[in-house]
A and B are shown apart, each in its own frame.
Chain A
């Protein structure tokens, strides 16, 4: 159900993030070089909806790291709103992550022993927002994912699907231009997975936030506007 199909490349300058010939080479302990990503051109436009597919080891997680500003390319460019990460300091890149990207991880990555509302408010602490304001926005975000009744619960007191929805609320709370989800349903049963996926699609529809999902699940990819396939570090063929 590709409701937001758009095969056209987004126009220049409007991309939330764009890679140009992005290449990532890892040097292993033995001195062996592994070319995880090899000259990838990909743009994520405002309001885009994109699945990145590929077998494990294909480089899709590396691509996600570059798109999320978690890492820098060995060569080529990664641009956030037109700014090359090569020109950004580590602190500036941290700020880009904070303002532009909302991460959703396969393993949720919630802080244990910390309430849902505090987990969701975490990114806002790095904006210097006060406690009351953080809480207000975190409550809003939790309500948006349907967890307004679970504010003070800790991750261990929540189901897997609920934990992932808390993580989505955390990604959402900064009002980023793009949600970046790495196998968001990978640790969930199919029903919870469908809920989480439905939530991502709904957020995309309602908020015009770009959604990028890394998955190896064709069923998941089918919910998203377009699909790119990574193979041996390259984008494989055309997009759908």
Chain B
């Protein structure tokens, strides 16, 4: 029998039992839909993280304590401003080095209050991170040196705390201390649903006093050019290791951070897809069950086909194709529903969801595979029937 002919026979057989075929497909539909949807969410998360990290700028080196990897807990930093100064000397340009010490604080202006990300930093943040000031000025070196109580507001606190007036020159209370507003940053947008505009910048020295700490959390260095990243990474690493032989520090490029975060997200996506895959297996067992029923129902048909000349492989192919037709049709419906659901999630929920071609190809391939895997046994059972016995079957 010709392959196309065989496919048509399989399709006709499924149409002959529409309701049963549809119910059998349901398991595969749900399984494939879940795989497509969850992979879409995983891919969406990866894309957001990637663009979030990339928005920091591509020439940046990050210095942070500990060993950034999938399985490690964050370590407490012992970095100091002195380390930042040494690094500035090492790379030959202190203005390319930014520092940060961070804490969640409540900012108050009169009766208005807002939780902000308090970022104690030095004067180099706009240059290192490419974050322009919209109005007023950013912190200056002397502000850090004399621990001046001045603050630059992110776009969000500027709007929330000063809804109807210019904040420049006004005062904001941070941890009970008054800071004078000297500038407002341009809007930066959000990453993974987390706003990058909820921030207030104050001199790192003032932040250390406010928080009662002597450390800084992290240091960022903007390389002179993309070509210098490797060299400067090594310079910075040596400097930090010499200053803190007792603790492990990471000096990471943006690509390396993306790599680590990508690994985390890959594991997460794989776990989600595997869980969805279990429902595919359940769907496959349903297909096998119904194919066994179908084979035994159609014993006489099998006997007749053999009597008029069907070879073992003709019968095998017929029933295998039926199983595959079931799972492939279920798979195509599942892909469609998965894509639609992903689009709805993307639109209606804070979760990102991005459909990737490979996930659709994978889902389709798995559908075919499930059909073959769970269809072979019933098909062999049909193909091995003896024509005489099959024809007499009641």
**Among A97-105, A194-202, A208-216, the stretch in contact with B:** A97-105
Contact B5 A109 (CB under 8 A): no
Contact A126 B387 (CB under 8 A): no
What residue of chain B has the Cβ atom nearest to residue A92's Cβ? B311
- Selected contact of B311 from candidates A105, A126, A174, CB within 8 Å: A126
Name the B residues within 8 Å of A68 (CB-CB).
307
Give the size of the chain A interface in residues (CB under 8 angstroms): 26
Contact B301 A111 (CB under 8 A): yes
Give the contacts of B288-313 with A (CB-CB under 8 A): 300-301, 303-313
Contact A170 B391 (CB under 8 A): no
Complex Cα distance, B301 from A182, in Å, reads 17
Complex Cα distance, B126 from A128, in Å, reads 75
Q: A70-B387, A70-B391, A111-B301 are in contact. Are A126 and B310 (CB under 8 A)?
A: yes
Contact A122 B311 (CB under 8 A): no
B51 contacts chain A at the CB level, 8 A cutoff: no
Q: At the interface, is chain B mostly helix, strand, loop or mixed?
A: helix
Contact A125 B1 (CB under 8 A): yes
Contact A94 B1 (CB under 8 A): no
Q: Mark B341-384, 1 if CB is under 8 A from A, else 0.
A: 00000000000000000000000000000000000000000000
A113 contacts chain B at the CB level, 8 A cutoff: yes
Name the B residues within 8 Å of A90 (CB-CB).
311-312
Contact A131 B16 (CB under 8 A): no
Contact B309 A95 (CB under 8 A): yes
Contact B312 A91 (CB under 8 A): yes
Complex Cα distance, B393 from A105, in Å, reads 13
Contact A111 B304 (CB under 8 A): yes
- Selected contact of B309 from candidates A97, A105, A109, A131, CB within 8 Å: A97
B106 contacts chain A at the CB level, 8 A cutoff: no
What residue of chain B has the Cβ atom nearest to residue A173's Cβ? B308
Contact B311 A103 (CB under 8 A): no
- Selected contact of A126 from candidates B1, B301, B303, B388, CB within 8 Å: B1
B48 contacts chain A at the CB level, 8 A cutoff: no
Contact B307 A125 (CB under 8 A): no
A58 contacts chain B at the CB level, 8 A cutoff: no
B209 contacts chain A at the CB level, 8 A cutoff: no
B165 contacts chain A at the CB level, 8 A cutoff: no
Name the A residues within 8 Å of B54 (CB-CB).
none
Name the B residues within 8 Å of A91 (CB-CB).
311-313
B386 contacts chain A at the CB level, 8 A cutoff: yes
Contact A125 B5 (CB under 8 A): yes
Name the A residues within 8 Å of B16 (CB-CB).
113
What residue of chain A has the Cβ atom nearest to residue B386's Cβ? A71
Name the A residues within 8 Å of B305 (CB-CB).
122, 126
Contact A70 B307 (CB under 8 A): yes
Give the contacts of B303-329 with A (CB-CB under 8 A): 303-314
Name the A residues within 8 Å of B5 (CB-CB).
125, 131
Contact A103 B308 (CB under 8 A): yes
Contact B314 A126 (CB under 8 A): yes
Contact A65 B388 (CB under 8 A): yes
Chain B residues with CB under 8 Å of chain A are 1-2, 5, 9, 16, 300-301, 303-314, 386-388, 391
Knowing that A70-B307, A105-B391 touch, tell me 10 more A-B residue pairs with CB under 8 angstroms: A70-B388, A70-B391, A91-B313, A94-B312, A95-B311, A99-B309, A111-B304, A125-B2, A130-B2, A170-B308
16 contacts between A and B (CB under 8 A): A70-B387, A71-B388, A90-B312, A91-B312, A91-B313, A97-B308, A99-B309, A103-B307, A109-B303, A122-B304, A125-B5, A125-B9, A126-B311, A128-B1, A174-B308, A174-B309
